[in-house]
Amino acid sequence: MRTASDVFLATCDLASQVRGRSVPSANHDAVLRGGVGWVPANLGLTAFGDITSGDVFGSIGDLRMLPDRETGLELPADGDHPGLRMYLTDLTHPDGTAWPCCPRGFLRETLDKLADEAGLRVRASFEHEFVLRGLPSSAPFSLRRHRDAARFGEDLLETLTASGLDPETWLPEYGEDQFEVTLCPTEGLRAADRAVYLRELVRDLALRRSMSASFAPLQHPDGTGSGVHLHFSLTDKTGEPVLFDPAKPGRLSTLGLRFSAGILRHARALTAWTAPSPVSFLRLRPHRWSVRGAFLAEHNREALLRICPTSTVVDTDPARQFNLEFRAADATANPWLTLAVVLRAGLAGLAGGADYPEPVVWPEEATEQDLANTPTLPGSLPEALADLEADDTVRSWFDPRLLASQLAVKRHEMDHLAGLADTERVRRVADAY
């Protein structure tokens, strides 16, 4: 049995890839105090491993990766695989002051704005779907699939629990070789940190079990997609829920309606951050149980914003269960940025007054004909990037260098796959995630 030989300090970049640097375990305490060096140009790395030709930082500049002690995670040794101590970091200037292009820092700043400007806090959870390759073929949702993956599932739940990620469910899903894992909701920054870790823990365990796991939005252009559904609720500073009002349509409070109005108003630009791969929009289409349009609805799994049901079987207080689900995201998106842009859009709705009228709450019984004229999402990543550039409000949230980096990385990824058939484009993205 081998023990941990190093400590890995990590960030999650614009391609939603976890990257970082390691130091010997003997330097653990020192690196917690001072971090390690990093390079601004690394923000321009794409999902395919190269730095975009549109990188705005070039060869100059230096940063520090300062670890957050509360994110410490221990991967135990496993056979021939050594253990690992890991921390998530904030990217800062060399003197430790905030770097405005740090994705985790952007979420932290957003959470502060939510508290300072609206007196609100968020609890969230990221619901992940992924494909586990290396198992026998089996039926959707079946006990057979669950049992075929039982050893993997047991190890995964044990790892997630030991790592403090608080797993909630683990289940076979509809798509071929597809599974879903959910974590219990927690406060905003911790929820996004957990999402970053979850993907790495699943992929790491799969490799150690002679399998592979892919969180890509598609494995085949016509296949079932894998999404990341962001569930969130809002409370005031005392911890009281603020989204629930039994007298309102869908039981969504006036505050919740105004918050939703902001998300819907800026939905097209948001998808450039929340579904940002060259193949993400092949999934976000009608009749695929993903998102058919930018509307708010009760219990409808093709709504951009879904009002989730509550249950009185055990918990009789619906207000504390009540949450909204943002469905136009996948695992090619950075979790810190996904949560941040959704919250920023909601804040815009709260502050925007009459410019953000309360949206229709479509009931569960709404038909396809009823929804025919609801606003659409972009049909492709180029459309989404164009919508981002055209949305002055969304653009204003970002340091210009962070915005330029996002646009450059995503366009470079599109160029990387240019001229390929959809099947090959999907395969290459699936291999990257």
pLDDT tens per residue, range 72-101? 999 888 888 888 999 999 999 999 999 999
Residue with tokens 């269960």: 321
In the chain, the percentage of residues whose pLDDT exceeds 90 is: 92
Close Cβ partners of 307 (under 8 Å, ≥ 6 residues apart): 250, 251, 252, 296, 297, 298, 299, 324, 325, 361
CA nearest 283: which of 246, 327, 239, 344? 327
Work out the number of other CB atoms within 10 angstroms of the CB of residue 135. 16
pLDDT tens per residue, range 171-190? 999 999 999 999 999 999 99
CA nearest 108: which of 8, 198, 193? 193
Residues 112 and 124: their CA atoms lie apart, in Å, by: 16
Longest dimension (CA), the chain: 65
Asked if pLDDT for residue 49 goes beyond 70, the answer is: yes
pLDDT band at 1 (very low <50, low <70, confident <90, very high): very low
**pLDDT value for 4:** 64
Tokens of 6: 């190093």
Pairing of strands 293-298, 120-133: unpaired
Q: How far is CA 22 from CA 36, 79, 199, 284, in A?
A: 9, 21, 19, 38
pLDDT tens per residue, range 118-175? 999 999 999 999 999 999 999 999 999 999 999 999 999 999 999 999 999 999 999 9
pLDDT tens per residue, range 308-358? 999 988 877 899 999 999 999 999 999 999 999 999 999 999 999 999 999
> For the chain, which domains are there?
6-99 (3.10.20.70), 106-432 (3.30.590.10)
Residues 12 and 339: their CA atoms lie apart, in Å, by: 14
Classify residue 25 by its DSSP letter: G
Q: How far is CA 96 from CA 37, 103, 355, 400, in A?
A: 11, 16, 39, 21
CA nearest 175: which of 134, 225, 227? 225
> Reduced to 3 DSSP states, what percent helix, strand and coil does the chain have, rounded to the nearest 5?
40, 25, 40
- Helices and strands per DSSP (H, E), number in the chain: 13, 16
Please report the DSSP string for 204-259 in residue order: HHHHHTT-EEE--S-SSTTS----EEEEEEEEETTS-B-SB-TTSGGGB-HHHHHH
CA nearest 431: which of 156, 204, 131, 175? 131
What pTM value is reported for the model?
Answer: 0.97
Residue with the larger pLDDT of the pair 54 and 104: 104
CA atoms within 13 A on the CB side of 378: 27
Mean pLDDT, rounded, of the chain: 95
Chain length of the chain? 433
Do 45 and 13 meet the contact criterion of CB atoms below 8 Å apart?
Answer: yes
Using a 10 angstrom Cβ sphere, with 0-12 exposed, 13-18 middle and 19 or more buried, the burial of residue 290 is: buried
Alpha helix (H) residue ranges in 371-399: 381-390, 392-396
Q: Which residue type, as a one-letter code, is found at position 310?
A: T
Asked if pLDDT for residue 241 goes beyond 60, the answer is: yes
pLDDT tens per residue, range 376-393? 999 999 999 999 999 999
Pairing of strands 6-12, 84-92: parallel
Residues 396 and 416: their CA atoms lie apart, in Å, by: 29
- The vertex-10 CA angle with 397 and 134, nearest 5°, equals 110
Work out the number of other CB atoms within 10 angstroms of the CB of residue 208. 15
